[in-house]
Amino acid sequence: MSTQPSQSIALPKTLYKFFSRYSDRFLSRWTVLGLDIVLVWMTYFMAQLISANFQWVSVRWAHLPQRAGLLTLSYLIAFFIHKSYVGVVRLSGSKDFQRLFLSTLTALVLIIPAAYLLTLYQFSRVTLLVQSMLFLITSVGGRLAVRSLFLSLQLRKSSKGSGILIVGAGSMGRAAANAIKQESRQIETIIGFIDDNKSKTGKSVNGIPILTLEKALQKDFIEKNNLGKLVIAIKNIPASRLKEISNIAIELGLQVKRVPPISNWVNGELTAKQIRPISLEELLGRDPIQLSYETLNGFIKGKTVLVTGAAGSIGSELVRQVMKQDPKLLIALDQAETPTYQLDQEIRTYPNYSHFKTIIADVTDEYRMAYVFDQFGPQVVFHAAAYKHVPLMEENPGEALKTNIHGTRIAAKLAYESKVESFVMVSTDKAVNPTNIMGASKRAAEHVVSYYNRQPGNQTRFVTTRFGNVLGSNGSVIPLFKKQIEEGGPLTVTHRDITRYFMTIPEAVRLVLEAGHMGQGGELYVFDMGNPVKIYDLALNVIRLSGLEPGRDIQIIETGLRPGEKLFEELLADGETTKATHHPKIFIANAQNLSIEQIEGMIDDSNEDSTKWLNHIEEYQPDI
């Protein structure tokens, strides 16, 4: 039986006021038990009339009180055995109806032998069967009516957007429904389930209808049922489907939430507080790259690891993930004092904090860096130190040269001289056909890493990872949008059609770790990042996920492309191809490297603190 919550029950005004006044109170279990006993008497009397074909004179009035008393005793025993009176009537579900069925069956089993043995009381077995059916129908029907009544009243009283749709009518969806019912205190109401399985649509779960996506996510249906939230409760929903459903719901003004994996439930049970808002990462519409730490085969365990740029977004996540792999010592090196201190405070909570050390140093200070290599003897180096902001580097090209090129040269040179096992540099898709100083400096850094990998007698595996923008990283577009929303807007985008590849910080770090493990030396790793994302669409989603309406609550304005900014990013340069690796999402770019002599000339020209080094970056196209 399905319940249509949008249809309120017509009540006399006085009765409506009475129920409205007491709609937030609960009947005690003893009151419910008493009402069920009254229902037993009423249905027994009705069964007597039915058995007598509604002929008053044909009813067996003799010993009626004794028969009613024995029947009441049978039901009382059954009620206490199955606890059918326990629970909140307005929240009655399949378990409550099951208890009523078992109670009725048990009472019948108890009273039938009495009917055979106590012939004096003139029991009619047909009457007992009719009574049991009447009681079951009226008790279940009564509870459904009460639930529907209070649901209707609650919808009248509730605030805007109190209705909830749950995507997924399976076990996870039912768990979400139960959690919401138990903790919402009737402030929120579950209107229906959405399921793609056509065999389920049209049916119901505990009286809650199962609908199709097309029917439920319609403006009229949403307004009619006072909908405000959509909860996604499907275990292995494809990322593209998750994005599709979420975008439709967000555009209709619904708040989208998601049930966490079962492994994250508290003691194996879901609570309403664990149902979290959907994240921007989940709206990218692609399945995240999954890399297992087990496949690293001891790449980190028991070794001394150096992370440069350790206080940055990528560097700090590298620190977190490397610490989980039991290194002998992790050296977190950065020139920024405050974020390095904050990182140290975070790692203090790790059980192996004694294997962690922070170093304040500038990667462009060759003497300081040489001291770190000599003092600690790192076996694995992750080079994440770099300047990355395009407009700032356009205005300060000398700093991009010093940090991104010379800093990389110093770190790679020391790794080569110290016979470090593995050196992994973090690069960027802006190094592909660069149109700005930052991108060109990172392409030059890729050449520097390749240079040291090709040195005679080299014993270090030098590899590079190249990926797109990182969601949530320091100074990236997402924190900027959130800050602009906090300030009341507007959100600024440089161009309505500008697109970027995006990945999450954990994904970026997993790629860096995997590259360090699988690289034999000289590889430049890229990976399938799915389709590029329009920054304008990202801005729309940030606004809607904040519960606001674009154009009404927050405006989006175009500011024009900045110097050196590209409309579209690329992962491969012209003429570059890729070859597969053991991971289906990770590829090796067949990059076009400069010769040893050309790289040496580039380094010599960069020592003059001028832009002559740019002449060696053939792909550099500043006019585009």
Kindly write down the DSSP assignment for every residue of 237-296, as one continuous string: --HHHHHHHHHHHHHTTPEEEEPPPGGGSBTTB--GGG-EEPPTGGGG-SPPP---GGGG
The structure tokens listed for 265 are 């439930």
The structure tokens listed for 338 are 């405050």
The structure tokens listed for 183 are 């903790």
Domain boundaries in the chain?
A: 13-155, 159-278, 293-469+503-530+571-616
SS3 235: coil
- As a whole number, mean pLDDT of residues 107-132 equals 73
Confidence tier at 163 by pLDDT (50, 70, 90) = confident
**Separation in Å, CA 528 to CA 196, 321, 585:** 29, 22, 5
Distance of CA 487 to the CA centre of its chain: 26
Can you give the pLDDT at residue 123? 64
**Separation in Å, CA 412 to CA 243, 366, 369, 404:** 41, 11, 11, 12
Can you give the pLDDT at residue 227? 85
Amino acid at 222: I
The structure tokens listed for 11 are 């009540």
Catalytic-residue membership of 160: no
Residue 526 has pLDDT above 90, yes or no: no
Can you give the pLDDT at residue 306? 97
| Catalytic residue (choose from 229, 243, 388, 430) | 430
The structure tokens listed for 290 are 């999954």
What digits encode the pLDDT tens for the residues 390-408? 888 888 888 888 999 999 9
d(CA 169, CA 255): 19
Strands (E), 323-460: 329-334, 356-360, 380-383, 422-428
Confidence tier at 4 by pLDDT (50, 70, 90) = very low
pTM over 0.75: no
Can you give the pLDDT at residue 623? 59
Can you give the pLDDT at residue 6? 40
DSSP 440-452: HHHHHHHHHHHHH
Can you give the pLDDT at residue 512? 86
- As a whole number, mean pLDDT of residues 37-42 equals 83
Of 495 and 287, which is predicted with more confidence? 495
Confidence tier at 10 by pLDDT (50, 70, 90) = very low
Amino acid at 174: R
d(CA 491, CA 554): 7
Confidence tier at 56 by pLDDT (50, 70, 90) = low
- As a whole number, mean pLDDT of residues 595-620 equals 75
Domains 159-278 and 293-469+503-530+571-616 share a fold: yes
Closest CA to 299 of 582, 512, 465, 528: 512
Can you give the pLDDT at residue 290? 66
Can you give the pLDDT at residue 614? 73
Confidence tier at 122 by pLDDT (50, 70, 90) = low
Handedness of CA 16, 18, 19, 20 (dihedral sign): positive
Share of the chain above pLDDT 90, in %: 21
H or E segment and range at residue 144: helix 125-157
The structure tokens listed for 396 are 């300060």
Confidence tier at 185 by pLDDT (50, 70, 90) = low
Residue 236 backbone phi and psi in degrees, to 5:
-120, 55
CATH number for the domain formed by residue range(s) 293-469+503-530+571-616:
3.40.50.720
Q: Which CATH superfamily is domain 159-278 in?
A: NAD(P)-binding Rossmann-like Domain (3.40.50.720)
Residue 121 has pLDDT above 60, yes or no: no
Residue 424 backbone phi and psi in degrees, to 5:
-120, 120
**Least confident stretch, 192-201, 463-472, 482-491, 612-621:** 612-621
Confidence tier at 54 by pLDDT (50, 70, 90) = low
Residue 334 backbone phi and psi in degrees, to 5:
-160, 155
Confidence tier at 19 by pLDDT (50, 70, 90) = very low
303's CB contacts (< 8 A; 6+ apart) are 327, 328, 379, 380, 421
